[in-house]
Amino acid sequence: MSYKQQAAEKIAAAINQLGVADFPAEKVQAMLETPPNPQMGDIAFPCFQLAKALRKAPPAIAGELAPLLSGAPLREAAAVGPYVNLFLDQQQVAAEVITKVTKEKEAYGSRNLGQGRKVPIDLSSPNIAKPFSMGHLRSTVIGNAIANIMEKHGYQPVRINHIGDWGTQFGKLIVAYLKWGSEEKVKAEPIKELLRLYVQFHEEAEKDPALEDQGREWFKKLEDGDPQAQRLWQWFRDESLKEFTKIYELMGVSFDFVQGEAFYNDKMDRIVQLLEEKDLLTESEGAMVVQLDEFDLPPCLIKKSDGATLYATRDLAAALYRHEAFDFAKALYVVGNEQRLHFQQLFRVLQKMGFAWATEMYHIPFGMMLKDGKKMSTRKGKVVLLEEVFAQAIADVKKVIEEKNPQLVNKDEVARQVGVGAVIFHDLKNFRLNDVNFSWEEMLTFEGETGPYVQYTHARACSLLRKGNYQPAEAPFPAEAFDSKEAWAIITTLNNFPDVVDKAREQFDPSQIGKYVIDLAQQFNKFYANVRILADEPELKAARLQLVHAVVIVLKEGLRLLGLQAPEEM
């Protein structure tokens, strides 16, 4: 039981003593706050909601409540205006928190909420024959972090890469390749050459609109199984996946299920048939739609007037396939904010079809990756290629290592861990719905709120453990070991880690953990600067090194949940 839960139970019992019977501990815990200044206490309870029941002013209630609160883990309770401020017993809490973290290690903060049930997570999903740009980074890293967080709470994530491998753009690409392409060039640099052809098609189509018709014709051939169209499509797909795999390996991201839109081509007729059987299809201007008026949503388009199916049909087929294949507890779609309406319609259509499991499907939207404040565009060739960003980040970190620590044994591996980590962390420290502006300066500095700063703090703490010849030690620890405000700030933050992981899971928000590890790193560096950790007294040194070890464990685990590695030397 957390200290907040323990405090909430004591407060609920005291409120009952004052004559208010229907004020349970769960309600109290939801009201608890953290005082803005640590000197005012560790936990604060506002008394405003009790004023009506007790017919007294909140400050008077606080004055009556405070004397009723005592006993572990509390050291003191004080009325401050309308609040009761609670002070925890620092020596007891320090010993309990450090012992718990160092014994549980990476399992600290874990829960078995999911009981092994599967959670398919639709993430990354780049388009075949287009480059893996910074615009694709967000879905990949947000989805991967959410998968790690769900796994920590006992779910079995199924990472799905639903690649864009179907649609009119392939007809356009076939036209471009047949007109201006070269097999040698595509083999040499598949993504760059296919992108060049795709951009050239749109430039030429502005001068010759007939090219658009040719693109549609070739896609129709592809749909009809034309051997040449099929061969070129398969080749573009295979070459693209090889390139994507290199980037995923660099990022440490792997998938359990890699199937594109084409995989569902033979599964859409079943959806149309089910919709017809349930009498949900209506005709609108020659097209077939599902009406969603009762949800204040526009109709969901299932079939065009020419009989062609659409994204919605395909995603309905994919949803049904995933439920049958994985029997999921939840299904998550980490897809940009601009697709919000599509997913609202998708989930409502599934509910209208009578699938109760559709209520456990969630769209996890995110903002755009901007360059100089503007959206990136593949069609116009205005993209920042992720592979190039990683290469540059790794090279920049290697340069810093050569300057600062040329004797480092595994320079290349550390440069990769820090360079790639810098790019990932730059995204995940931001709340996912916010747009992120691509910035080298912000990303790669070893100071401030960055991945390299947190990784460097972890390496510094590991170095301290080596230097101090760290050995595990049992509590009780000397009272003066943690009597500084810097040590207490670390202990209360370590204690909060399970709550932070809870919140990150509930809100599908990895930035909760991003902000947390920055906070913990900053607090450790203050402790490092102001407290003599390697003290002359053996008991003090041993106790403080236990705290350093606890910081190492939680920083490493926090970074792991975000998809970053934690070098022990930098």
Q: Same domain, yes or no, for 62 and 20? A: yes
pLDDT score for 475: 84
Query: Do residues 272 and 303 lie in contact, with contact meaning Cβ atoms separated by under 8 Å?
Result: yes
pLDDT in tens, 301-358: 998 876 666 789 999 999 999 999 999 999 999 999 999 999 999 999 999 999 999 9
User: Domain containing 43: what range?
Assistant: 3-88
Q: Same domain, yes or no, for 416 and 487? A: yes
Q: Max Cα separation, the chain? A: 85
CATH number of the domain residue 532 falls in: 1.10.730.10
Tell me which residue of 351, 349, 376, 345 sits closest to 363, measured CA to CA. 345
CATH number of the domain residue 173 falls in: 3.40.50.620
The C-alpha angle with vertex 531 and arms to 528 and 532, in degrees rounded to 5, equals 95
The CA distance from 521 to 457, in Å, is 6
Two structure tokens written together for 197: 């052809």
DSSP letter, residue 372: T
pLDDT score for 308: 63
Q: Band the pLDDT of 103: cuts 50, 70, 90.
A: very high
**Domain tally, the chain:** 3
Q: Same domain, yes or no, for 360 and 254? A: yes
Query: Do residues 8 and 25 lie in contact, with contact meaning Cβ atoms separated by under 8 Å?
Result: yes
Two structure tokens written together for 481: 């070991």
Q: Same domain, yes or no, for 421 and 506? A: yes
| Choice between 501 and 133, residue whose per-residue pLDDT is larger | 501
Tell me which residue of 146, 119, 511, 480 sits closest to 322, measured CA to CA. 119
Two structure tokens written together for 360: 């456990």
pLDDT at 381 over 80: no
Q: Band the pLDDT of 286: cuts 50, 70, 90.
A: confident
Query: Do residues 448 and 556 lie in contact, with contact meaning Cβ atoms separated by under 8 Å?
Result: no
Helices 411-428/227-251 angle, 10° precision: 100
pLDDT in tens, 32-64: 999 988 889 999 999 999 999 999 999 999 999
pLDDT in tens, 388-399: 889 999 999 999
pLDDT score for 303: 86
Give exposure, 177-193, as e/b (b: 16+ Cβ within 10 Å). Answer: beeebeeeebeeebbeb
- Quote the mean pLDDT of the chain: 92
pLDDT score for 376: 60
Q: Same domain, yes or no, for 69 and 153? A: no
pLDDT at 385 over 90: no
Q: Same domain, yes or no, for 348 and 403? A: no
Two structure tokens written together for 372: 């100089």
| Choice between 1 and 522, residue whose per-residue pLDDT is larger | 522
pLDDT at 135 over 90: no
pLDDT in tens, 218-232: 998 998 899 999 999
The CA distance from 367 to 436, in Å, is 7
Query: Do residues 112 and 559 lie in contact, with contact meaning Cβ atoms separated by under 8 Å?
Result: no
- Cis? peptide before 538, omega within 30° of 0: no
DSSP letter, residue 270: H
pLDDT at 217 over 70: yes
Q: Same domain, yes or no, for 416 and 534? A: yes
CA distances from 421 to 291, 295, 411, 453, 567 (A): 46, 42, 15, 11, 11
Question: Which of 315, 339, 371 is a domain's end point?
Answer: 371
Secondary structure element (H or E) that encloses residue 284, with its range: strand 281-284
pLDDT in tens, 442-459: 767 777 899 999 999 999
Instruction: Give 310's Cβ-side CA count (13 Å radius).
Output: 15
